[in-house]
Amino acid sequence: MAIQALLVILAVLLVLLFLGVPISYAIAVSSLTAILSSIDLNVAVLTAAQRTFVGMSKFSLTAIPFFILAGNIMNQGGIAKRLVDFVMAILGKLPGALLVTNIGTNALFGAISGSATATCSAIGGMTIPAMKKEGYSDSFAAATASMASILGPMIPPSITLIVYASATETSISALFQATVIPGVLLALFLVGYSLWYGKKKDLPSRPKQNAQQIFRTFRSSIWALLMPVIILGGIFGGIFTATEAAAVSVIYAL
């Protein structure tokens, strides 16, 4: 029975995605199709309703829409661009400056949104056109932005970890603490590779900025830089839970 439902979901989902239907609608239609094709329709509908309300009743999962909303608010408010400008002011003098800036900004924005998709769309939307303008190939620019966006769900607060913690009854705070070091190490490895690649290919760099210019850029982005400190400091310090931190992040973003 479960295998039959899974096959129906996969078949309908693939067909709808191939036809260009948005993912959210495709998932909803494929799930509904699996329910309606069930042998015992009453049982299937009852189970779907129960699962829906059980999922809604999990307090920890409400952190997900809050973090996404906070990331969207900061992106719409131009915060992502300020982060890019700040990282570029510090690292722009290095060969392959846009590569390094892309990675550093993804790490910072990932600590705000917790989502690879949000991070890639916010940061990649600015860095990919800039990289193409400086002579990077389309495939390399897209691959770099996609790889760097993985830092989004690795560096807390991570939406993926929140879902995993909810499904396995694991402490969200413990998972966040466990992924900080791997996330930072991945960012450092990516920066190291970018520096090596930039020097090898003699990629363009930006003029070095003086201390006054760096401070001016830092001052314009200080509120964005403080957001990860408040969120992670509050969670690790036991001041509030991950869900409460998500709500605080929305208020702070506003």
> pLDDT tens, 245-254?
888 888 888 8
What radius of gyration, in Å, describes the C-alpha atoms of the chain? 21
**Looking at residues 96-109, what average pLDDT do you find?**
80
Which pLDDT band holds residue 59 (cuts at 50, 70, 90)?
Answer: low
Model confidence, pTM:
0.65
**Looking at residues 182-188, what average pLDDT do you find?**
87
Q: How far apart are the C-alpha atoms of 51 and 41, rounded to whole Å?
A: 15
Indicate the average pLDDT of the chain: 79
Query: Which backbone phi and psi does 136 adopt, to 5 degrees?
Result: -70, 145
Instruction: Decide if 67 contacts 249 (C-beta within 8 A).
Output: yes
Instruction: Decide if 151 contacts 107 (C-beta within 8 A).
Output: yes
Nearest to 110 by CA among 198, 196, 247, 227: 227
**Looking at residues 126-144, what average pLDDT do you find?**
80
Nearest to 29 by CA among 19, 54, 39: 19
Q: How far apart are the C-alpha atoms of 114 and 32, rounded to whole Å?
A: 29
